Amino acid sequence: MPKKINILGVNVDSLTMREAVRQVEQYMDEKAGVLVATANAEMLMRATYDQELKDILNAAALVVPDGAGTVWAAHHLGHAMPERVAGYDLAQELMREAPARGYRIYFFGSAPGVADKAKAKAEKLYPGIQVVGTRNGYFGPEDEPEIIADIQAAKPDLLLCALGVPKQEKWLKKYQQELGVPVSIGVGGTFDVMAGVMKRAPRWMQKAKLEWLFRGMMQPKRAGRLMALPKFVFKVHHFKHEHNR
């Protein structure tokens, strides 16, 4: 079992991409019925004032370090954190291995049409992949029984859910038992990137750990959210001193 590291009250797993993929596959094989979360700085910041989200994360089977901010925080707090395990990359790795292992995947979330485009992309990138259902992420409470029934009928091993943070985590938690899916993961903008609606940062920016800056620049509505990063740095620094007293 990977080591858990307390970052601002959320226990984040210290593990490599390879280990994360293995662990998720094991949960699928065991039909474990678990939630996996991908924690970036913004999510960890939100958990400091959103107790429901914090509880969901601390009850999750796996919380992977999504983003340079999370890895930095672990290091700053004096812990080993081998690498960043971005939700987008984790989803791609799982899809890459899915055909050979026969895993069934359901794409839930994002704007109408996007999950279908992401499915077409997945079928091109990962021949033989079984994307057993798609459903957009814009719905009212009255639509939920039908969405749940569709997911149940599709019998996926893996449910990728892109409703944004924290909606996806809360929705998955609420219906975890009812859905009975072996593994569910909140994957944010993954289908948008796969469908080409949104671009991922160029490689050099990812390597320079600047993906957060790229995302802020590309989506002006997110620009305000960039402030979460400096706030996160201060919070982690204070957290460290409180814990060392």
Contact 29, 157 (CB under 8 A): no
Name which of 76 and 167 has its Cβ closer to ligand UDP. 167
Q: Which residues of this protein are in contact with ligand UDP, per CB under 6 A?
A: 109-111, 137-138, 162-165, 167, 188-189, 191-192
Name which of 3 and 227 has its Cβ closer to ligand UDP. 227
Contact 109, 161 (CB under 8 A): yes
CB neighbourhood size of 181 (10 A):
26
Name which of 200 and 235 has its Cβ closer to ligand UDP. 200
Name which of 25 and 108 has its Cβ closer to ligand UDP. 108
CB neighbourhood size of 78 (10 A):
10
Rounded to whole angstroms, how far apart are CA atoms 6 and 63?
11
> How far apart are CB 243 and ligand UDP at their closest, in Å?
28
* Residue in the shown chain whose Cβ atom is closest to ligand UDP: 137
> How far apart are CB 3 and ligand UDP at their closest, in Å?
26
Contact 47, 53 (CB under 8 A): yes
> How far apart are CB 135 and ligand UDP at their closest, in Å?
9
Rounded to whole angstroms, how far apart are CA atoms 158 and 227?
33
> How far apart are CB 35 and ligand UDP at their closest, in Å?
15
Two structure tokens written together for 159: 């449910």
Bridge partners of 134? Answer: 107
Name which of 23 and 110 has its Cβ closer to ligand UDP. 110
> How far apart are CB 64 and ligand UDP at their closest, in Å?
14
